[in-house]
Structure formats: C-alpha cells, structure tokens
C-alpha cells in the first residue's frame, strides 16, 4: 500500500457535504495528491457512505477513514473496511484492548491501521507502544482546539504547539511510518520532509477554512500544486 521513495501527501476532506468533498478530492488528485481522507466532519455528516462515494469516484486511490475510534474497535474498523477504506484511524487514548481489536480487524480485512497520538503524554514513548500494538502508521497530531486554545498557547511559551515540536524524537522512537498533521504551513510541510518525514496531511488552514468545515477560500488546487512541486524538487535533490 505504501510506495517507496517520494513523500506521500494526504488531503483531509474535513467538509460536511459530498459535493464539496468530491470537488476538493478531484482538485487534489489533479494536483498530484496521492491519498484522500474522509475527514471526521464528513463521516459525522454523511456516515460511511462518504467512504463508499470516494471509493466509487477514485477506485485506485488510497482512502483513509478518519473514524477516530475510541471503543468497539473491531466492529467499527470492520464497517470502514467494508465501506472501502484502505486505512482506518483509532485514537491512541483509547484502551489498548480497543487498539488491539482494530489491528485484528485490519489484519482480517486487509486494511492498514493508523493510531493517532492526539493528547497522549510522552508522545515518543506512546508512539513506540502503538507500534508494539501493531500500528501500521502513526499519526502525530496536534489538534485543532489544542493549537488555538489561549491556555495551551500560554503554556507553550506564547506560540501554538506544532507537529514539528517533537517530530524528531518520535521518528527516532519508531520504525513504522509517521504522519504529521495539525495546521501545517507550506514552509513547515517542506521542513518536515527535510527532517525525514515521508507522510504529510494537509488540512486547515491550507485547504480547509480555519473557522469552519469548508474548503479554504482561494485557489486550493494551486496551493496543492505548489506543495507537490516543492516536494518533487526536494526528492530530486536527494536523489542527485
């Protein structure tokens, strides 16, 4: 499922209608984005029918179901698999029994399991444990509320927490692939790839509006093309 070589870019379709999700997905694929994520807002609004619709429209594209599973791990992962997902997401803050059940379902149905480290303590150690439990990919996630909360920002020295803050320690702690997600700018996305990350998730504010579950204003496809071109340049430089 994971091709070798160049960075993998995933777009979070964190919108609430299939019309908007499919429009964004087509723009993303045209721009060169490799993976599509049925975002949590989309699944909450449209159910797993959103995954089915994306699978029908993009039969050969990797589709991630951001289900954020907290319990009922096997059954919920099974539902996502039967809807056509290639990957399903379980929260690292869930009980380990739930993570094990999601992994069991993933092995049964041939789909990958992503474990999300949102709000976990000692993230490098937490991610190491997720790998031991069977995670195929770890999502290093600084949440929407977390990076906007005044109290969190004050505790963080006056600047919002970023995925880049502890990515080096996480990459050193695990051998499975790691994604980074959480308000990435173009510059931060490029920097993370230079630091060894192969998986990026693009959402707010680049392609999703910062204050609503809608696509960002402006030329979303153009922004994605710019990012993909810069990543291609980095890959060519690394190979030369």
Cα separation, 125 vs 132, in Å, equals 11
Question: Where residue 176 sits, what CATH number does that domain have?
Answer: 3.20.20.70
Q: What is the pLDDT of residues 26-45, one digit of tens each?
A: 999 999 999 999 999 999 99
Cα separation, 145 vs 121, in Å, equals 17
Distances (CA, A) of 76 to 48, 65, 66, 90, 186: 10, 11, 11, 10, 34
Whether residue 95 lies inside any domain: the answer is yes
Range of the domain at 67: 8-239
Whether residue 144 lies inside any domain: the answer is yes
- Is there a cis peptide before residue 66, judged by omega within 30 degrees of 0? no
Segment 170-198 shows an average pLDDT of 90
What pTM was computed for the model?
Answer: 0.93
Segment 57-64 shows an average pLDDT of 98
Q: How many domains does the chain have?
A: 1
pLDDT at residue number 119: 95
* Tally of CA atoms within 13 A in the half-sphere of 118 that contains its CB: 19
Whether residue 59 lies inside any domain: the answer is yes
Whether residue 194 lies inside any domain: the answer is yes
Whether residue 2 lies inside any domain: the answer is no
What is the three-state SS of 95-136? CHHHHHHHHHHHHHHCCEEEEECCCCCCHHHHHHHHHHHCCC
Whether residue 1 lies inside any domain: the answer is no
Q: What is the pLDDT of residues 103-161, one digit of tens each?
A: 999 999 999 999 999 999 999 999 999 999 999 999 999 999 999 999 999 999 999 99
Whether residue 230 lies inside any domain: the answer is yes
Whether residue 234 lies inside any domain: the answer is yes
pLDDT at residue number 238: 63
pLDDT at residue number 136: 98
pLDDT at residue number 204: 78
Segment 151-174 shows an average pLDDT of 94
Is pLDDT at 210 greater than 80 in this prediction? no
């Amino acid at each position: 499922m994971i091709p070798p070589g160049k960075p993998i870019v995933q777009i979070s379709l964190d919108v609430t209608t299939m019309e908007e999700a499919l429009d964004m997905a087509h723009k993303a694929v045209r721009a060169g984005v490799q993976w599509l994520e049925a975002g949590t807002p989309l699944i909450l609004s449209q159910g797993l029918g959103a995954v089915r619709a994306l699978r029908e429209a993009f039969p050969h594209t990797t589709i991630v179901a951001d289900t954020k599973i907290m319990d009922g791990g096997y059954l919920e992962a099974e539902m996502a698999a039967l809807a056509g997902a290639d990957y399903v997401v379980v929260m690292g803050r869930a009980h380990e029994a739930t993570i094990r059940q999601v992994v069991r379902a993933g092995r049964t149905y041939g789909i990958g399991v992503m474990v999300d480290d949102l709000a976990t303590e000692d993230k490098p150690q937490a991610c190491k444990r997720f790998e031991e439990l069977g995670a195929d990919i770890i999502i290093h996630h600084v949440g929407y509320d977390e990076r906007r909360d005044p109290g969190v920002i004050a505790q963080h020295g006056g600047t919002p927490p970023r995925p880049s803050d502890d990515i080096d320690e996480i990459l050193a702690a695990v051998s499975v692939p790691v994604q980074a997600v959480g308000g990435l700018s173009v510059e931060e996305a490029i920097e993370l790839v230079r630091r060894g990350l192969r998986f990026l998730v693009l959402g707010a504010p680049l392609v999703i509006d910062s204050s609503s579950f809608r696509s960002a204003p402006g030329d979303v496809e153009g922004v994605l093309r710019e990012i993909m071109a810069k990543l291609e340049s980095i890959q060519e430089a690394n190979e030369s």
